[in-house]
Amino acid sequence: MNKEIKLSKNVIFLFIVNLFIVISMFCLKYYYNYKMYEKRIINMFLIINIIFLIFGIVYNVFLLLSNKKDDKVNLLLIVTYLVIYILLNTFVIYVVNKPLNDGYRKNSLLLYEYCDINNCENYYNVNHKGYRDFIIKNKYFDYNNKENDIIITIKYNYKNIVSINAVIYSDNDMFSEKIIKEQLDKYFVYFKKNIQEDLIRKAFDERFNGKVTNDGISYKVSEIIQNNKLISLKTNISTYIN
Protein backbone atom coordinates (compact mmCIF):
# COMPACT_ATOMS: atom_id res chain seq x y z
CA MET A 1 0.00 0.00 0.00
CA ASN A 2 1.24 3.49 -0.85
CA LYS A 3 2.35 5.63 2.03
CA GLU A 4 -0.09 8.44 2.76
CA ILE A 5 1.41 11.90 2.33
CA LYS A 6 0.21 14.51 4.81
CA LEU A 7 0.66 18.23 4.36
CA SER A 8 2.43 19.67 7.38
CA LYS A 9 2.50 23.31 8.47
CA ASN A 10 6.05 23.71 7.18
CA VAL A 11 5.13 22.32 3.76
CA ILE A 12 2.15 24.67 3.48
CA PHE A 13 4.19 27.62 4.74
CA LEU A 14 6.99 26.97 2.24
CA PHE A 15 4.47 26.57 -0.57
CA ILE A 16 3.05 30.01 0.32
CA VAL A 17 6.60 31.45 0.40
CA ASN A 18 7.33 30.00 -3.06
CA LEU A 19 4.06 31.39 -4.37
CA PHE A 20 5.00 34.79 -2.94
CA ILE A 21 8.36 34.61 -4.76
CA VAL A 22 6.67 33.78 -8.07
CA ILE A 23 4.22 36.69 -7.76
CA SER A 24 6.88 39.15 -6.55
CA MET A 25 9.22 38.07 -9.36
CA PHE A 26 6.66 39.01 -12.02
CA CYS A 27 5.80 42.25 -10.20
CA LEU A 28 9.45 43.25 -9.86
CA LYS A 29 10.19 42.37 -13.49
CA TYR A 30 7.35 44.67 -14.55
CA TYR A 31 8.71 47.36 -12.22
CA TYR A 32 12.25 47.03 -13.62
CA ASN A 33 10.94 47.18 -17.20
CA TYR A 34 8.83 50.22 -16.33
CA LYS A 35 11.91 51.92 -14.88
CA MET A 36 13.85 50.94 -18.02
CA TYR A 37 16.61 49.17 -16.14
CA GLU A 38 19.42 47.83 -18.30
CA LYS A 39 18.79 44.32 -19.65
CA ARG A 40 21.81 42.86 -17.87
CA ILE A 41 20.38 44.00 -14.52
CA ILE A 42 16.96 42.51 -15.31
CA ASN A 43 18.56 39.24 -16.47
CA MET A 44 20.70 39.06 -13.33
CA PHE A 45 17.60 39.64 -11.21
CA LEU A 46 15.72 36.88 -13.02
CA ILE A 47 18.58 34.37 -12.67
CA ILE A 48 18.92 35.02 -8.92
CA ASN A 49 15.18 34.77 -8.33
CA ILE A 50 14.83 31.62 -10.44
CA ILE A 51 17.65 30.00 -8.40
CA PHE A 52 15.78 30.95 -5.21
CA LEU A 53 12.57 29.53 -6.62
CA ILE A 54 14.17 26.24 -7.72
CA PHE A 55 15.69 25.84 -4.26
CA GLY A 56 12.31 26.53 -2.68
CA ILE A 57 10.50 23.99 -4.87
CA VAL A 58 13.14 21.28 -4.26
CA TYR A 59 13.05 22.00 -0.54
CA ASN A 60 9.26 21.87 -0.60
CA VAL A 61 9.38 18.39 -2.20
CA PHE A 62 11.98 17.29 0.36
CA LEU A 63 9.75 18.40 3.23
CA LEU A 64 6.77 16.72 1.66
CA LEU A 65 8.60 13.38 1.66
CA SER A 66 10.52 13.90 4.90
CA ASN A 67 9.62 12.45 8.27
CA LYS A 68 10.59 15.70 9.99
CA LYS A 69 8.11 18.02 8.37
CA ASP A 70 7.43 20.09 11.46
CA ASP A 71 11.00 20.25 12.66
CA LYS A 72 11.89 23.67 14.12
CA VAL A 73 15.15 23.65 12.14
CA ASN A 74 13.19 23.41 8.89
CA LEU A 75 10.95 26.25 9.99
CA LEU A 76 14.00 28.37 10.78
CA LEU A 77 15.49 27.58 7.36
CA ILE A 78 12.26 28.59 5.60
CA VAL A 79 12.12 31.88 7.49
CA THR A 80 15.81 32.51 6.75
CA TYR A 81 15.19 31.70 3.08
CA LEU A 82 12.34 34.22 2.92
CA VAL A 83 14.28 36.94 4.78
CA ILE A 84 17.33 36.56 2.50
CA TYR A 85 15.09 36.76 -0.59
CA ILE A 86 13.42 39.97 0.63
CA LEU A 87 16.68 41.60 1.73
CA LEU A 88 18.45 40.72 -1.52
CA ASN A 89 15.72 42.20 -3.71
CA THR A 90 15.41 45.25 -1.47
CA PHE A 91 19.17 45.80 -1.78
CA VAL A 92 19.03 45.45 -5.58
CA ILE A 93 16.16 47.94 -5.83
CA TYR A 94 18.02 50.44 -3.64
CA VAL A 95 21.38 50.08 -5.41
CA VAL A 96 19.85 50.36 -8.90
CA ASN A 97 17.27 53.02 -8.05
CA LYS A 98 19.75 55.44 -6.51
CA PRO A 99 21.67 56.26 -9.74
CA LEU A 100 18.37 56.32 -11.64
CA ASN A 101 16.77 58.79 -9.26
CA ASP A 102 19.95 60.86 -9.03
CA GLY A 103 20.15 61.02 -12.83
CA TYR A 104 16.53 62.07 -13.25
CA ARG A 105 16.90 64.63 -10.47
CA LYS A 106 20.05 66.09 -12.04
CA ASN A 107 18.47 66.53 -15.49
CA SER A 108 15.20 67.78 -14.03
CA LEU A 109 16.97 70.42 -11.92
CA LEU A 110 18.99 71.46 -14.97
CA LEU A 111 15.76 72.10 -16.92
CA TYR A 112 14.03 73.85 -14.01
CA GLU A 113 17.07 76.09 -13.61
CA TYR A 114 16.98 76.84 -17.33
CA CYS A 115 13.33 77.93 -17.04
CA ASP A 116 14.05 80.08 -14.01
CA ILE A 117 16.74 81.90 -16.00
CA ASN A 118 14.58 82.31 -19.12
CA ASN A 119 11.33 83.20 -17.32
CA CYS A 120 9.19 80.36 -18.64
CA GLU A 121 5.53 81.04 -17.95
CA ASN A 122 4.49 77.48 -17.18
CA TYR A 123 6.58 74.32 -16.94
CA TYR A 124 6.23 70.84 -15.44
CA ASN A 125 7.28 67.18 -15.73
CA VAL A 126 5.24 64.32 -17.18
CA ASN A 127 6.39 60.78 -16.32
CA HIS A 128 6.40 58.01 -18.91
CA LYS A 129 7.76 54.48 -19.05
CA GLY A 130 11.52 54.87 -18.95
CA TYR A 131 11.66 58.61 -19.61
CA ARG A 132 10.14 61.96 -18.73
CA ASP A 133 8.84 64.92 -20.68
CA PHE A 134 9.66 68.41 -19.47
CA ILE A 135 6.86 70.62 -20.82
CA ILE A 136 7.25 74.37 -21.25
CA LYS A 137 4.23 76.49 -22.21
CA ASN A 138 4.69 80.10 -23.20
CA LYS A 139 2.82 82.70 -25.25
CA TYR A 140 3.93 85.35 -27.72
CA PHE A 141 2.34 88.19 -29.67
CA ASP A 142 2.44 88.43 -33.47
CA TYR A 143 2.51 91.59 -35.62
CA ASN A 144 -1.25 92.01 -35.09
CA ASN A 145 -0.69 91.86 -31.34
CA LYS A 146 -2.56 88.57 -31.18
CA GLU A 147 -1.54 86.09 -28.49
CA ASN A 148 -0.38 82.66 -29.68
CA ASP A 149 0.85 79.50 -27.94
CA ILE A 150 4.29 77.95 -27.75
CA ILE A 151 4.73 74.41 -26.41
CA ILE A 152 8.20 72.98 -25.86
CA THR A 153 8.61 69.29 -25.02
CA ILE A 154 12.04 68.17 -23.84
CA LYS A 155 12.40 64.41 -23.52
CA TYR A 156 15.01 63.11 -21.07
CA ASN A 157 15.97 59.98 -19.14
CA TYR A 158 18.26 59.36 -16.18
CA LYS A 159 21.34 59.55 -18.41
CA ASN A 160 20.85 62.59 -20.62
CA ILE A 161 18.58 64.94 -22.56
CA VAL A 162 17.19 62.94 -25.49
CA SER A 163 15.28 65.34 -27.74
CA ILE A 164 13.49 68.67 -28.01
CA ASN A 165 10.25 69.28 -29.85
CA ALA A 166 8.88 72.81 -30.30
CA VAL A 167 5.36 73.67 -31.43
CA ILE A 168 4.40 77.24 -32.22
CA TYR A 169 1.03 78.47 -33.51
CA SER A 170 0.41 81.46 -35.77
CA ASP A 171 -2.31 82.99 -37.93
CA ASN A 172 -2.22 82.13 -41.62
CA ASP A 173 -1.72 85.73 -42.70
CA MET A 174 0.73 86.37 -39.87
CA PHE A 175 3.12 83.51 -40.58
CA SER A 176 6.65 84.80 -40.13
CA GLU A 177 9.76 82.67 -40.13
CA LYS A 178 11.56 85.56 -38.45
CA ILE A 179 9.16 85.63 -35.48
CA ILE A 180 9.23 81.85 -35.19
CA LYS A 181 13.02 81.79 -35.12
CA GLU A 182 13.13 84.64 -32.60
CA GLN A 183 10.68 82.83 -30.30
CA LEU A 184 12.24 79.38 -30.51
CA ASP A 185 15.92 80.16 -30.92
CA LYS A 186 16.74 80.27 -27.20
CA TYR A 187 15.38 76.79 -26.60
CA PHE A 188 17.54 75.25 -29.32
CA VAL A 189 20.67 77.35 -28.80
CA TYR A 190 20.74 76.15 -25.19
CA PHE A 191 21.27 72.63 -26.57
CA LYS A 192 23.74 73.89 -29.21
CA LYS A 193 21.27 73.54 -32.06
CA ASN A 194 20.59 76.33 -34.57
CA ILE A 195 17.31 76.66 -36.45
CA GLN A 196 17.22 78.44 -39.80
CA GLU A 197 14.68 80.95 -41.14
CA ASP A 198 14.94 79.77 -44.73
CA LEU A 199 14.10 76.19 -43.71
CA ILE A 200 11.10 77.38 -41.71
CA ARG A 201 9.89 79.21 -44.83
CA LYS A 202 10.60 76.12 -46.95
CA ALA A 203 8.55 73.98 -44.56
CA PHE A 204 5.69 76.49 -44.93
CA ASP A 205 5.90 76.48 -48.72
CA GLU A 206 6.01 72.66 -48.76
CA ARG A 207 3.55 72.11 -45.91
CA PHE A 208 1.47 69.69 -48.00
CA ASN A 209 4.49 67.55 -48.84
CA GLY A 210 5.63 66.54 -45.36
CA LYS A 211 8.57 67.77 -43.31
CA VAL A 212 11.87 69.38 -44.22
CA THR A 213 15.01 68.01 -42.57
CA ASN A 214 18.48 69.51 -42.40
CA ASP A 215 21.42 69.00 -40.06
CA GLY A 216 19.38 66.68 -37.83
CA ILE A 217 16.57 69.21 -37.33
CA SER A 218 13.07 68.58 -38.73
CA TYR A 219 10.70 71.39 -39.75
CA LYS A 220 7.02 70.84 -40.44
CA VAL A 221 4.15 73.27 -40.94
CA SER A 222 0.55 72.04 -40.89
CA GLU A 223 -2.82 73.72 -41.12
CA ILE A 224 -5.33 73.64 -38.27
CA ILE A 225 -8.81 73.48 -39.77
CA GLN A 226 -12.15 73.58 -37.97
CA ASN A 227 -15.54 73.51 -39.70
CA ASN A 228 -13.80 73.67 -43.08
CA LYS A 229 -12.09 76.89 -42.06
CA LEU A 230 -8.38 77.48 -41.61
CA ILE A 231 -7.95 78.86 -38.11
CA SER A 232 -4.17 78.73 -37.61
CA LEU A 233 -0.85 77.26 -38.65
CA LYS A 234 1.13 74.87 -36.49
CA THR A 235 4.91 74.87 -36.91
CA ASN A 236 6.74 71.90 -35.45
CA ILE A 237 10.54 71.89 -35.09
CA SER A 238 12.28 68.95 -33.50
CA THR A 239 15.70 67.38 -33.08
CA TYR A 240 17.57 64.77 -31.09
CA ILE A 241 20.21 65.96 -28.63
CA ASN A 242 23.55 64.18 -29.02
Phi, psi of 8 (to 5 degrees): -85, 175
What pLDDT does 69 receive?
A: 57
Average pLDDT over residues 16-25: 88
pLDDT of res. 158: 83
pLDDT at 67: 63
Q: Give the whole-angstrom CA distance, residue 105 versus residue 40.
A: 24
Supply the pLDDT for residue 70: 64
Q: What is the pLDDT of residue 151?
A: 95
The fraction of the chain above a pLDDT of 70, given in percent, is 93
Note the pLDDT of residue 134. Answer: 94
Query: pLDDT band at 5, cuts 50/70/90?
Result: low
- pLDDT confidence of residue 238: 96
pLDDT score of 78 more than 60: yes
User: Of the ranges 42-51, 130-139, 147-156, 211-220, which one carries the lowest mean pLDDT score?
Assistant: 42-51
- Determine the average pLDDT of the residues in 170-197: 89
Domain boundary assignment for the chain: 9-106, 120-240
User: So what's the pLDDT on residue 64?
Assistant: 77
Q: What is the pLDDT of residue 100?
A: 78
Mean pLDDT (whole number) for 177-182: 92
List, as one string, the DSSP characters of 56-114.
HHHHHHHHHH-S-TT-HHHHHHHHHHHHHHHHHHHHHHHHHHHHHHHHHHHHHHHHHHH
Question: When comparing pLDDT for 153 and 6, which is higher?
Answer: 153
Query: Considering just the CA atoms, what is the radius of gyration of the chain in Å?
Result: 29
Of the candidates 189, 133, 124, the residue with the CA atom closest to the CA atom of residue 156: 133
Residues 6+ positions from 13 with CB-CB distance below 8 Å: 75, 78
In the three-class reduction of DSSP (H, G, I as helix; E, B as strand; rest coil), residue 150 is classed as strand
Flag the least confident range among 3-7, 95-99, 217-221, 237-241.
3-7
Mean pLDDT of 123-141: 88
- What is the pLDDT at residue 1? 44
Q: What is the mean pLDDT of the chain?
A: 85
Residue 16 has pLDDT above 70, yes or no: yes
